[in-house]
Structure 1
């Protein structure tokens, strides 16, 4: 049976979202399993955003796979359900961008100081070891004691490195999340137009 233009559009757009979701999931898994140098800093400092991104990527992949099945089987009901699920997925992606933007806005240094006070000793130690620093502003400012971090340590405080890294991560995160809304909106538009024209009936 000849494939319609609507089927091709659905397969291509859902294929694009599948690739986006897979890329997001791989990035999240690399972070959770500490697959690169600063992954520990993200798991400690930006855990809420990381959790939402992981959930969003998994749901995006699953929704795309179900949509592939619906398109290949010419199942309008399945495609309609997938189209509806796109809306909460859009909200999840937007929330990632919103949280990152909100966190980076207005006095990030003060927010990081508040966060540091709320961290456990083990979490502070992870940040100190990863960023090669001691204490927040200095070794005298709420350090996690270790063989490298003590009151007379020559290591700098973590504020400078942590601030610069956090600002970069948050900016990259909210720009990426907001840019990804565009293909997501395009998929919603295509799914609304094409789900009922999947075959020649």
Structure 2
């Protein structure tokens, strides 16, 4: 059961790693709306985390077939590294989401015109708090052409996006820790199984199959007169307790004994 459980858990683990890697690569290439609002270091860390998880899953599946303690220990070490790495990513995303206004204000003021233009085009907005707040001048967003004709400010759209998207990301990251904990628990189970005495494991298996426990005993561990391995004490060390135990050295001694008992008339 632990073998198939290990395989199933690590297949889920590998799927999680693929998802993290895909998210990191797509975000790094700015392949979805609002990707530039995430710190680029998050996407790099996500891609690395996905690769680490995939490697750990491969070690876990291999450990289900190759019963080596060293392999399971390496697997556990990689999973622990991935777990800590994942917690760090979740905390970083949570910090940005919990302080949205300061994060977006700093991001907008420190970014260049090309970045602000890209954000304004994606969210159809102009400026930050208002159309006059450090906008990127474009054909659509140009306060000189009139404030009334300009798109709405970017503050509301960006704040709503960060609250929703960042929250979803860190919730998924923290929830995925459950899969890694399952993987660790199964690895510990395999270590405990390998640490069991092989004789005890064989005894447990045969007990379930209905074989008598006496048949599993070895001759060296059995004592008592009721089993076929019982070694009867040597006769020369026993004292005769009945007449049947007496032995005579010669036929003459036997004949003399019978003569004294019954007389010579029988001989």
Which bracket does the TM-score occupy, shorter chain normalised? 0.7 to 0.9
Q: Do the aligned partners of 2:123 and 2:157 also contact (CA within 8 Å) in 1?
A: yes
Tell me the C-alpha RMSD between the 2 structures. Answer: 2.2
- Structure 1 portions without partners, runs of 5+: none
- Per the normalisation by structure 2, the TM-score is 0.65
- Given candidates 41, 58, 61, the residue that maps to 1:65 is 58
Displacement of 1:90? 0.5
- Structure 2 portions without partners, runs of 5+: 199-267
Deviation track 1:134-192 (CA, whole Å, cap 9, x = no partner) reads 11112211112222221235111111100000100111112111111112112112112
Structure 1 32/186 Cα, relative in aligned 2: closer, same or farther at 3 Å?
Answer: same
Q: Which residue of 1 aligns with 2:83?
A: 90
Larger Rg: 2
Which has the bigger relative contact order, CA under 8 A and spacing at least 6?
1
Displacement of 1:32? 3.2
**2-structure distance, mates of 1:96, 1:64:** 20
Query: Could you list the runs of 4 or more consecutive aligned residues of structure 1 that deviate by over 4 angstroms after TM superposition?
Result: 198-201
- Given candidates 71, 75, 93, the residue that maps to 1:78 is 71
**1-structure distance, mates of 2:195, 2:113:** 60
Secondary structure in 1 matching 2:105: helix
How many residue pairs match? The answer is 193
Secondary structure in 2 matching 1:110: helix
**2-structure distance, mates of 1:14, 1:199:** 22
Q: Which residue of 2 aligns with 1:131?
A: 123
Deviation track 1:74-105 (CA, whole Å, cap 9, x = no partner) reads 34322211111111110111122211222222
Say whether residues 1:150 and 2:146 are aligned partners: no
**1-structure distance, mates of 2:27, 2:98:** 24
